[in-house]
């Protein structure tokens, strides 16, 4: 079986098992971008608490987040962990967003994706995964998001090497999948769902795993 067919089969199996996930959880592109920063190495459950606090204070509006004092912001996002670091990172991002694009998603995402990606990576606190999450889920641009689950699951099944860098893993998906926003969106969401719910110490029963067919190849 060819790698491309295996990947599509994995995707299809996950989709059949979990159903459509319709990511990213968030009402607006700006909320998605804030969430992408807050969820760095942190469970979504904790991030939601922080997001809800921000929402209550009307801080999911770029201008308001731009204005608020960083110390005050840090206190509000405490539940998401690394609150001092993340307050700084949110400030870095919102400053970029307001000063370069007047806080307009339309302006930001109207430019070409590759150029925008390079600019995002220059913002201190935005790395490859956060940048790609912003591009894909807030901007609907065809960038594949690689996370810890992706690396773990695909290296365990020997589709990529265990020590492959972010860029290499991403290239693996670009090489073997059509560059479609819908597919990239749903595929990554499905991978996260699989990683969260299957093949963990809490749920070691791999016989019911939707991609168990990989074990016999």
**Which residues of this protein are in contact with DNA, per CB under 7 A?**
23-25, 35-36, 39-46, 49, 78-79, 81-86, 123-131, 133, 137, 147-149, 163, 165-166, 192, 195-196, 202
> What burial letters (b/e) apply to 114-125, b meaning 16+ CB within 10 Å?
eebbeebeebee
**Pick 95 or 102: Cβ nearer DNA:** 95
Q: Which is nearer to DNA, 63 or 162 (CB)?
A: 162
Angle between helices 181-197 and 148-156 in degrees, nearest 10: 80
Task: State the minimum distance, in angstroms, from the CB of residue 25 to DNA.
Answer: 6
146 vs 177 by CB, closer to DNA: 146
Q: What angle in degrees, to the nearest 10, is found between the helix axes of 44-56 and 29-38?
A: 130
Q: Which is nearer to DNA, 43 or 102 (CB)?
A: 43
Q: How far is the CB of 47 from DNA (least distance, A)?
A: 8
Supply the DSSP symbol for 215.
Answer: G
Q: In whole angstroms, how close is the CB of 54 to DNA at the nearest point?
A: 14
> In whole angstroms, how close is the CB of 217 to DNA at the nearest point?
25
d(CA 53, CA 34): 13
Both tokens assigned to 209? 């795993």
Nearest distance from C-beta of residue 216 to DNA, angstroms: 26
Spatial distance between the Cα atoms of 94 and 55, rounded to a whole number of angstroms: 15
For the chain, report the end-to-end CA distance as a whole number of angstroms.
9
In whole angstroms, the minimum distance from the beta carbon of 196 to DNA comes to 5
Question: Is 37 or 177 the residue whose CB approaches DNA more closely?
Answer: 37
Give the CA distances from residue 42 to residues 90, 103, 174, in Å, rounded to whole numbers and listed in that order: 15, 26, 27
Cα separation, 165 vs 63, in Å, equals: 36
If the CB atoms of residues 22 and 216 are measured against DNA, the closer one turns out to be 22
């Amino acid at each position: 079986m060819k790698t491309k067919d295996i990947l599509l089969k994995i995707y299809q199996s996950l989709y059949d098992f979990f159903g459509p996930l319709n990511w990213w959880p968030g009402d607006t592109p700006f909320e998605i971008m804030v969430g992408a920063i807050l969820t760095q190495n942190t469970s979504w459950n904790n991030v939601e608490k922080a997001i809800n606090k921000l929402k209550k204070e009307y801080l999911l509006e770029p201008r308001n987040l731009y204005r608020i004092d960083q110390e005050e912001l840090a206190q509000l996002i405490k539940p998401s962990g690394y609150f001092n670091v993340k307050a700084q990172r949110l400030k870095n991002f919102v400053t970029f967003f307001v000063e370069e694009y007047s806080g307009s998603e339309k302006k930001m995402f109207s430019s070409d994706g590759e150029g925008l990606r390079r600019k995002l990576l220059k913002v201190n606190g935005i790395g490859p995964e956060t940048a790609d999450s912003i591009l894909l889920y807030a901007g609907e641009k065809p960038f594949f998001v690689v996370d810890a689950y992706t690396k773990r699951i695909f290296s365990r099944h020997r589709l990529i090497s265990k020590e492959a860098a972010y860029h290499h893993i991403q290239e693996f998906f670009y090489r073997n999948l059509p560059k479609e926003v819908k597919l990239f969106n749903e595929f990554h969401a499905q991978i996260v769902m699989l990683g969260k719910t299957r093949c963990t110490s809490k749920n070691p029963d791999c016989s019911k795993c939707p991609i168990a067919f990989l074990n016999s190849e």
